[in-house]
Amino acid sequence: MASSGFSCNLTAAASACLPLRKPGTTPFKTKHVRRRRSSCKIRAGNAGAGDDDALVRRNIDRRDVLLALTGFAATTSNLGLAALAADDTVPAVCLTPPITNEVIKCVSADGFQCPGPFRPEDVVDFAALPPPNGPLRVRRPAHLVAADEEYVKKYEAGIRMMKDLDDTDDPRSFKRQAAIHEAYCNFHYKVTAAATAAAGAGSPATEIDFDVHFSSIFAPWHRMYIYFFERIIGELVGDSTFALPYWNWDAPDGMILPAIFNNESSPLYDAKRNREHVDAVIDLNLGPGKQNDLPVCSDDACLKATNLCNIYRQMAVDTAAQFHGDKFCAARVMSPGSLENAAHTAVHIWLGDPLATNKGEDMGVLGTAGRDPVFYSHHANVDRLWHLWTAALGNENFVGASAAQWLDTGFVFYDEKRRPVRIRIRDVLDAGRLGYAYEEKETLEWQDKRPTPAAGIERSGAKPSVPAAATSFPVALKNGEKKYVTVERPEKARAGGGSSKKAPEVLVVDVTIDPCEYAKFDVLVNVPKGQEARVGPQNSEFAGSFVNLPHGGGDGGGRGSMGSLKLAYRFALRELVEDLGCGRDQLLDVTLIPVAGEKVVVDDVRVELLE
């Protein structure tokens, strides 16, 4: 592909900090994927990549086929499998009903105790329960509640009481609640063999791994999870108005571990945190195992400002699919949304990265994250950002036929009365319907932190030649070796100068990873070779980062069938090309900067319009 050069003309307006704008929506899209089988075992460090060619061949073996599900339709009685393009050995399939507890089952093994089992006759439908009729439960910023001694004592008492409950008999115990996250996020849940058989998958029937990450299930499932967790604490302390605090790491004053979680005598404390980070300002672009190769801030004020740019970038997306991710379907490339991609994962790594010099543990791995009490306040803030994306920023969740399918997805949780309750996505779209609200004491400073073009970049003259190996996919990433590729933009995007909101332009990076390994690489656009050190997350040229938080950890037993994972990461381009003055350019130059992980294969880099 020919070189684009750098014809961007920067203007004063383009470099200014601009507020967010109201996005639109887009329907789901479908792609296909194959996956190998292996076991998830978290290791102390990253294994070497070995022979790069062998790694690439292993990850694109055409005989490796994945059977899985799309997960959406109106009823579970209408099971059906649609054949997907594959090879002649094993047909790839996609399950069409919504994800429900009739379609999936949990595997208890090696000391791990699954939620349930739930007898159908015992399950209560959330929609049939009376709506809350008392005052709203108000979730407050965690760093501010420290001054409320009565509240802190009540919160600590609730967690202590949960930890004292019988783990074998009471599903409300802290250990059993933490195990819920492990069950749904560490491959203990499978699509049942009976469901795949009834859907026509053939014989023998195949169980399929299920995970609430990497798709549009991420935000609503976690909202359900912490909703019931919060209600259990309120029941134990005898206060129906009790609300969890949220760790608002999106505000400068909240960008440090809240003091209530850093008291060694408190049940809110977890010794398995990175001790180097518990008293430091968080880095919302931190890579696992080491600091990033990007410019490092020399003071806390700089780091906080950069964090705000990272939050802006994840919130300034045009569609529900960009924000939430695509619908769950393991028979194709999984595509997580910006809410999961960015700061959410960085917070986990900040406190729990076991590869760090002063290592952590619990928060750093999906299987054990729920064992740290701060996890629930962390996800309360993730939930709040979803609330802000719709309520404060005026965006919409999915609409149309695909929305109906998404809304029917549901799960069963134990409530504060120990009742198994079926709750669906349609039940949790309105926080007010769930009886809680968020207290906003601080200005949303990230709204005015649109990244600006980097200073000092030489854009004139001939562009350095692109290494041939980097333009031939798939390519294995290796730490310390940047990869360069030139991509062509759709004609429709160029015709509109890159300003279309109805069909937003995105950079798509297809990757194959080991889901049990940490991985991170940064993505830059239109940065001449050799000038990457001039660009950081505060700059327009920084499209974002790919980050994987590993599965694994916990009590094991459910991870045997998970192999390599294919993901499509989407990076918003609309504002990027506006700010760089490249809206009508035919080509963009992309730089991939590996930060961590030796088992990452990039399968493709391209530009798409989400229509």
- Specify burial of residue 561 (Cβ count, 10 A radius: 0-12, 13-18, 19+): middle
Crossing angle, helix 300-315 and helix 374-391, to 10 degrees? 50
pLDDT digit string, tens, across residues 531-570: 999 999 999 999 999 999 888 776 654 444 456 888 999 9
What are 327's two structure tokens? 């619908």
- The per-residue pLDDT for 57 is 38
* CA dist., res. 308 & res. 294, Å (int): 16
The pair phi, psi for residue 389, each rounded to 5°, is -60, -35
- Which 8-state DSSP code applies to residue 532? G
Cα 602 → chain centroid: 19
Angle at 148 between CA 145 and CA 151, to 5 degrees: 85
- Report d(CA 331, CA 315) in Å as an integer: 28
From CA 363, how far away is CA 344, in angstroms rounded? 11
Q: How far is CA 376 from CA 50, 142, 272, 363, in A?
A: 39, 11, 16, 11
The b-or-e profile of 411-428 (16+ CB within 10 A means b, else e) is bbbbbbeeebbbbbbbbb
Q: Which of 542, 526, 544, 545 is nearest to 486 (CA)?
A: 526
Q: Average pLDDT, stretch 477-490? A: 92
The type of residue at 16 is A
Whole-angstrom Cα distance, residue 216 to residue 573? Answer: 21
Q: Which amino acid, one-letter code, is at 34?
A: R
Q: Report the mean per-residue pLDDT for the chain.
A: 80
> pTM for the complete prediction?
0.85
Binning pLDDT at 50, 70 and 90, where does residue 63 land? very low
Q: Which domains does the chain have, with CATH numbers?
A: 52-128+139-449+461-609 (1.10.1280.10)
State mean pLDDT over 299-304: 95
**Residue with the larger pLDDT of the pair 289 and 531:** 531
Determine contact, residues 466/587, Cβ cutoff 8 Å. Answer: no
**Which tens digits make up the pLDDT trace of 126-174?**
999 998 888 999 999 999 999 999 999 999 999 999 999 999 899 999 9
Q: Residue 14's pLDDT is what?
A: 28
- What is the pLDDT, as a whole number, of residue 528? 94
According to the model, what pLDDT value does residue 109 have? 78
Strand pairing partners for 479?
A: none
Provide the β-strand partners of residue 392: none
Q: Is 576 helix (H, G, I), strand (E, B) or coil?
A: helix
Take residue 287 and report the two structure tokens written for it: 């890579």
Q: What are the pLDDT digits (tens) for 393-445?
A: 999 999 877 688 789 999 999 999 999 999 999 999 999 999 999 999 889 99
Nearest to 485 by CA among 533, 522, 535, 524: 524
Query: What is the rounded distance in angstroms from the CA atom of residue 543 to the CA atom of residue 550?
Result: 23
pLDDT tops 70 at residue 594: yes
Strands (E), 338-497: 410-414, 420-424, 436-438, 475-476, 483-488
What sign results for the dihedral spanned by CA atoms 347, 351, 352, 357?
A: positive
- DSSP for 475-498 reads EE-BTTB-EEEEEEPPHHHHHTTT
Q: Strands 104-106 and 94-95, how do they pair?
A: unpaired
R_g (Cα) of the chain, nearest Å: 23
Residue the block writes with tokens 């919160």: 155
Helices (H), 130-173: 142-145, 149-164
User: pLDDT category, 199, cuts 50, 70, 90?
Assistant: low
Which residues have CB under 8 Å from 219's CB, separation 6+?
324, 337, 339, 340, 382, 383, 386
Calculate the alpha carbon distances from 90 to 85, 204, 214, 332 in Å.
Answer: 10, 12, 25, 15
